[in-house]
Every structure is written in C-alpha cells, then in structure tokens.
Amino acid sequence: MRITEESKVFILAPVKENDSIENRISNLVKMQPLEPFESVILEFISELSRRILSNNLYRRYPELIALAFWMRKSHLKNLEEQYLEMRRGRLLVPRGVVLHFAPSNVDSIFIYSWFISLLVGNSNIVRVSQQRGEQINILIDLLSDLLSEENFKVIQDRTAIITYPHNEDITRFLSENCNTRVIWGGDETIKRIRSVPLRANATEMVFADKYSLSAIDARALLELSNTELNQIAQNFYNDAYWFDQMACSSPRLIIWSGVEIEIERAKALFWDTVEQIVSEKQEKLNPSVGMTKLVTGYQYSAKGFFNRLSTNSTQGTYRADLKSLDLPFREIHCGGGFFLESHVENILEMVDFVDIKDQTLSVFGFSEEELRKLVQVVRGRGIDRIVSIGQSLNFDNVWDGYNLFENFSKEITIKLQSKE
C-alpha cells in the first residue's frame, strides 16, 4: 500500500511510539480471537462506562450518558444472557477481524457495533471521520487512556481506531485484511466504500440512510394524566432532540391515529407540552438552525407539499401538515426539530406508505396485537423495529434487521455418522 503525506493514516488509539498502520494491522490480524464475553472484555467496557458516569463534566452530553448506561455491567449481563440463549445448541465462533466505518452524523454509533463485535470475541479496526464532534474526541481520549493500561493489553492488541482522508488504496488495504466489514453512513458513502472489494470469503453489513417516524393514538393520549403526558413528551424529546434529530432512528414524521376532533385536541396538548420541555432543556438555538427550518418549510410549501406550517416560531418545534402521504416526503429533512404530521383513522392504513427506508416506528397507545398485524401486512417492505416512544435511540443487538451477535459470529456444524 502506498501512503502519501496527504493520505496519511492517523492511529488515534491505542497510541504506540514509532507505529505504522501496516505494522499495526499486520499484528492485529495475527491475534487469536477472544472467548465470547470473556471477563476482560466485560471489565473493559464497564470501566469505560464508570469513567463516563463518574465525571460530572460529561453530563452535558446526553448521548454519552446514554452510551454509558448501555455499557453498565447489568446491561452487559443481559446481553450475555441473550447471546447464550441464541447460542444454545449451536457452535458459534468469532469471525476474526471486523472493520467498522463510523458515520459522521452520529459518530458515537460505532461504539455500539464495535463493542458487540468485541463481546463475541473479534478483533476490531474502526475508521472514524476526520470531521469529528466534541463527543467523539472525548470518547477517543477515554479509550486511549483505557487501552494503555496493562490489564487491558489483550484488547489493545486487538484494536485499532484510525482516521484518514477518503483514499481507495487505504480502504482496499483494510478491506483485504478483515473478515467482516461494517459500513455506517449515507447512501453515497456506502456506494463508494462498497466499490472497494472484500476478500472472497468476507462478509459485510451496511447501515444506510434510514427514515423514522412516530405513531400516536389520539384517544389514548387524551386519557393521560398531566404527569403521564409530561412523561410521554419528555420521552419524545429524548428521541427527537438528542443528535439534533439527525440520527436514523430520530422521528421526523408523526402519524396521528383516530377521529379528527380527537386528533386536533391531542395534537394541541402534546405539542404544548413538548414546547415547554424544549424551552426548559435547550438554550436558544443558533439562528441558522431556525432559518434552515423556515427555508425548508417554505421551499416545500411552494411545491405544494403542506396544508399549513407552524410559522409562529422557529426556536422550538416547527411542524408541517402533509397534504398527502403519497408525496416524496422522506426527502424533507433538516433536523433541529422539524416535524411532518399526518393522520390515519387506523394504524393499519400505514401499510399504504411504508417504505424500505423506514427504520424505527416509535409508538404510543397501540396494543402489541395491532402492531404485530401491521408488521404482517407490511411484509418486510419497511420498518425494522417498533419501540415505545422514548426508546428510539436505544441500541439493540438486532439493528436494521441484522442480528449482530449472529453476523459477528461464524457458525460451525459438526455432523458425524452414527455407528450402527
């Protein structure tokens, strides 16, 4: 591999003197995989959690705190139980080396896929964007310190967190040295990376641009007490405003289910409560965010997409009432609290507009039976997960239709002829 000064690979963690990417990868691929859920892996992940949660400075980063809660020992124990249940009666081994390409819009997402890969025993190479946010730099500093400790040397030897400018030669070199490639990013990013071939027996998972929505039963919402309504609004705020509504699982379209008079009453109650939480939680938005929402709203109004806009303020929630769910509304997205709205009489009517790009449906007021019926009639044409409002950003070992435990593992079969 030819590396010029302009395309230099920077090894961010673990840092070693006089190290090169060629030497690091060469050593990493020689390492034997670890045992799934080996104690040193659990200690490493839970220690990172402890260091985040014990530092009050990190409390202003809700995404970091959510990640730290996911990494707690109690949750790791739950993940181990799920893994063992899945593995029951099967022979699963780590795939070897997993190469992760982290996204730039929600850059901490790579931690989840890396740690699930690590939990099942793999070595990992992680390429992060050069346009990193403050939170990812905090994480990398924490990881670098942790990986430098002697008791975590077995993980240090099996880890490389790197960054480099877009360079096909480097991507090819890394791809030739992995057993599984994981790509997070927009459609164009994925196309560019997938144009670089993998070794013949390697596998790949891609997590492309997705769209997410919420569905609320109007009558169920109207029956809530003030305390319960505040909790639902708080949960919705967490789903929508963490990552500035830019995560694939952040809701962008709100579907109201019920009769019109109840929907109008429910919308007024819900949005008034959400507005109060937004004003309490957020400092004044950058004027450019508000202007972007305003311009987006007017742009698509001019195209005939909306019945009406909430133009009284761009500082809080900015809502647009869709004329039709047949319109190409998924292209309308600027983040910052811009919500499309529509309504149906029954949640099963959603089958008419669900798309393959739809990922998370966060819901309130529907029975599991209704939701199962919706999934059955959609028949795989969209919706990868259905969760309660407030759980949209909760990462799970099944994501975008992939069971990560299974995909980061290789299944071995043993079938012996019985002696007669």
**211-399 is classed CATH 3.40.50.150:** no
Q: What is the pLDDT along the chain (420 residues), one digit of tens a residue?
A: 444 444 589 999 998 888 889 999 999 999 999 999 999 999 999 999 999 999 998 988 878 888 999 999 999 999 999 999 999 999 999 999 999 999 876 667 789 999 999 999 999 999 998 888 888 899 999 999 999 999 999 999 999 999 999 899 999 999 999 999 999 988 899 999 999 999 999 999 999 889 999 999 999 999 999 999 999 999 999 999 888 888 889 999 999 999 999 999 999 999 999 999 998 876 556 677 878 888 888 889 889 999 988 866 667 788 999 999 888 999 888 888 999 999 999 999 999 999 999 999 999 999 999 999 999 999 888 999 999 999 999 999 999 999 999 999 999 999 999 876
What pLDDT, on the 0 to 100 scale, is given for residue 312? Answer: 61
Separation in Å, CA 265 to CA 117, 217, 261, 271, 322? 47, 12, 7, 10, 18
What pLDDT, on the 0 to 100 scale, is given for residue 60? Answer: 84
CB 269 within 8 A of CB 256: no
What pLDDT, on the 0 to 100 scale, is given for residue 310? Answer: 80
d(CA 280, CA 282) in angstroms, rounded, equals: 6
d(CA 99, CA 199) in angstroms, rounded, equals: 12
**10-208+402-410 is classed CATH 1.10.287.70:** no
H or E segment and range at residue 292: helix 287-302
Q: Which of 215, 217, 213 is nearest to 253 (CA)?
A: 213
Separation in Å, CA 254 to CA 96, 239, 317, 366? 42, 12, 12, 14
CA end-to-end span of the chain, whole Å?
56
Question: Which residues touch 134 (CB under 8 Å, ≥6 apart)?
Answer: 61
Domain boundaries defined on the chain: 10-208+402-410, 211-399
pLDDT, tens only, 79-109: 999 999 999 999 999 999 999 999 876 667 7
Pairing of the two strands 306-309 and 318-322 = antiparallel
> Residue 168 corresponds to which tokens in the numbers above?
């096909």
Placement of tokens 């407030």 in the chain: 390
* Predicted TM-score of the model (pTM): 0.88
Can you give the length of the chain in residues?
420
What pLDDT, on the 0 to 100 scale, is given for residue 62? Answer: 79
